[in-house]
Amino acid sequence: MKITKMQGLGNDYIYVNCFEETVKDPVTLAQKISDRHFGVGSDGLVLIMPCEEADFRMRMFNADGSEAEMCGNASRCVAKYIHDRGLSNKEEISLMTGAGIKILKLNVKDGVTESVRVDMGEPELEGLKIPVNVNANPVIGAPVEALGREYRMTCVSMGNPHAVIFVDDADSFDVHGVGASIEVNPLFPRKTNVELVTVKDRTHLRMRVWERGSGETLACGTGACATLVATVLNGLCERKAVLELNGGPLTVEWDAETNHVFQEGPAAFVFDTEYEE
């Protein structure tokens, strides 16, 4: 099977072009191919598929094989793959995801996609729809226990669930311990992604992420969007800010008029290869 490795701010996935390949068991494939020692090594698996209702469809599986509703970094890489590999010459592509249709706007220079701006749609703030078992809308400063300590979280869905926690210093914070604990906290019926955020100023946030199903990754597009929304809800930043992720900066904007969240950033090919299932 032909596979392509791509990365968006270091959030690396294996991409399969399902116009040419058939993936019978994506859950098992994601688990095996993502293993950084016994497999190719990645944060998960992304299938690029035909679609009736949109130009293309994306299915995304975390490293543990769990399927996620949406992936922000992967959507930028899918746009680059589609355009630069000639599946479409459009510079605005509609992509069907588990969180509905997303519009991808490509910034192309000399035929190569340099960056992509994704309309991530509206954030979901109603607790029971995120879902988190907190009957509030929005969920701001809700208590959550991890490793014997209480934290305060703001919860947002970008199609997938996020628990955003403000900390004094994200760089020294125990992301792995606290993140892994909250990911599986019973408050979250479908588990959750966990973002640890230090507000640098009103237009710069430092964010690390423990991803549902993949652990700490270098970047999380949906997480960055959820973090921007949560930080605005807490009155701590402007509606447009740069999020400093381990893998690099990502610009996120929550447009007041449309209530849509936009993220814009890079996407890169790493290599193509053949993979034996």
Ligand X SMILES: N[C@H](CCC[C@H](N)C(=O)O)C(=O)O
Active site members = 71, 220
Give dist(CA 109, CA 129) in Å, integer: 40
Q: Rank residues 72 and 127 by Cβ distance to ligand X and give the closer one.
A: 72
**Least gap, CB of 179 to ligand X (angstroms):** 11
Find the binder of ligand X among 31, 181, 193, 198 (CB under 6 A). Answer: 193
By the rule CB under 6 A, 7 interacts with ligand X: no
DSSP per residue over 163-226, as a string?
EEEE-S-GGGS-HHHHHHHHHT-TT-TT--EEEEEEEEETTEEEEEEEETTTEEES--HHHHHH
Q: Between 172 and 190, name the residue whose CB sits nearer to ligand X.
A: 190
- The Cα 268–Cα 12 span in angstroms is 9
- CB–CB of 205/197 below 8 Å? yes
Q: Which residues contact 52 (CB under 8 A, 6 or more apart)?
A: none
What is the contact mask toward ligand X in residues 136 to 175, using x (rule: CB under 6 A)?
------------------------x---------------
Closest CB 188 distance from ligand X, rounded Å: 11
Shortest distance in whole angstroms from residue 159 CB to ligand X: 8
Place of tokens 């290869």: 273
Which residue in 4, 11, 115, 154 binds ligand X (CB under 6 A)? Answer: 11
Q: How far apart are CA 24 and CA 47, in angstroms?
A: 11
- Decide whether 102 or 110 has the Cβ nearer to ligand X: 102
3-state helix, strand, coil in the chain (%, to 5): 20, 45, 40
Contact call for residue 182 and ligand X (CB under 6 A): no
Tokens 């946030």 appear where? 205
DSSP 123: P
**Min. distance of Cβ 276 from ligand X in angstroms?**
26
Interface mask (CB under 6 A) for ligand X, residues 63-82, using x and -? Answer: -----x--xxx---------
Least distance between ligand X and beta carbon 110 (Å): 27
- CB-wise, 93 or 172, nearer to ligand X? 93
Which residues sit at the interface with ligand X, rule CB under 6 A? 11, 62, 68, 71-73, 160, 193, 211-214, 217, 220-223
